[in-house]
């Protein structure tokens, strides 16, 4: 990180962390990243809820993620596909969110043989379009003018996906202890 973008605390050699006892280990930078991920995740969840409300629906962050996944490529999805894409371990959380989305009239279930498929309703498609327009206006425009380039965002996303694999592997290992 360039010195001009570091915080005062970090520029003095101390990482910006929420748990100094974790930063005392072999990788203080990882502790700093974890704190930043937490701040980013909290802000992102807040954004999703407020954007969804502005788009016309009172949804939780998980419901917003599931709604956009259901709408993705305008093809019906199986529950297992939704949980796989979003890396949801507890299927009942996705099932509950889908029930709420169905009750709100944003998704509907259909059958293809024995399989239950979830797809967006016309109201769900309209919600996603409203959400997209609000996102473009309030988030994308300002982020493009003052934030990282598209290439840098893509590189960061790739690094985050790689890092998530490390955390998933560590979680599996921790479950065996």
- Taking alpha carbons only, the member of 158, 47, 151, 57 closest to residue 106 is 57
Segment 110-128, tens digit of pLDDT? 999 999 999 999 999 999 9
Tell me: pLDDT of 5 over 90.
no
* Residue 118 contacts residue 76 (beta carbons within 8 Å): yes
The helix/strand count (H/E) of the chain reads as: 9, 2
Residue 16, pLDDT score: 82
Any idea what DSSP says for residue 176?
T
The mean pLDDT of 124-135, rounded to a whole number, is 98
Segment 16-30, tens digit of pLDDT? 887 888 888 888 889
The mean pLDDT of 76-82, rounded to a whole number, is 97
Neighbours of 65 (CB within 10 A): 19
Q: Give the separation between CA 38 and CA 57, rounded to whole angstroms.
A: 25
Query: Quick one: pLDDT band at residue 6, thresholds 50, 70, 90?
Result: very low
- Tell me what the pLDDT averaged over the chain comes to: 91
Tell me: pLDDT of 7 over 60.
no
């Amino acid at each position: 990180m360039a010195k001009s973008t570091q915080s005062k605390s970090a520029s003095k050699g101390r990482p910006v962390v929420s748990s100094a006892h974790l930063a005392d280990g072999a990788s203080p930078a990882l502790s700093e990243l974890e704190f930043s991920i937490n701040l980013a995740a909290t802000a992102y969840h807040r954004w999703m809820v407020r954007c969804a409300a502005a788009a016309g629906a009172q949804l939780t962050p998980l419901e917003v993620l599931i709604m956009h996944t259901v709408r993705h490529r305008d093809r019906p999805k199986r529950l297992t596909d939704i949980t796989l894409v979003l890396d949801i371990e507890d299927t009942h959380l996705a099932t509950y969110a889908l029930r709420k989305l169905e009750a709100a009239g944003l998704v509907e279930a259909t059958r293809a043989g024995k399989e239950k498929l979830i797809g967006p309703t016309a109201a769900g498609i309209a919600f996603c379009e409203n959400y997209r327009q609000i996102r473009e206006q309030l988030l994308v425009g300002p982020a493009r003018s003052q934030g990282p380039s598209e290439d840098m965002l893509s590189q960061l996303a790739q690094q985050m996906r790689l890092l998530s694999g490390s955390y998933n592997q560590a979680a599996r290992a921790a479950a065996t202890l």
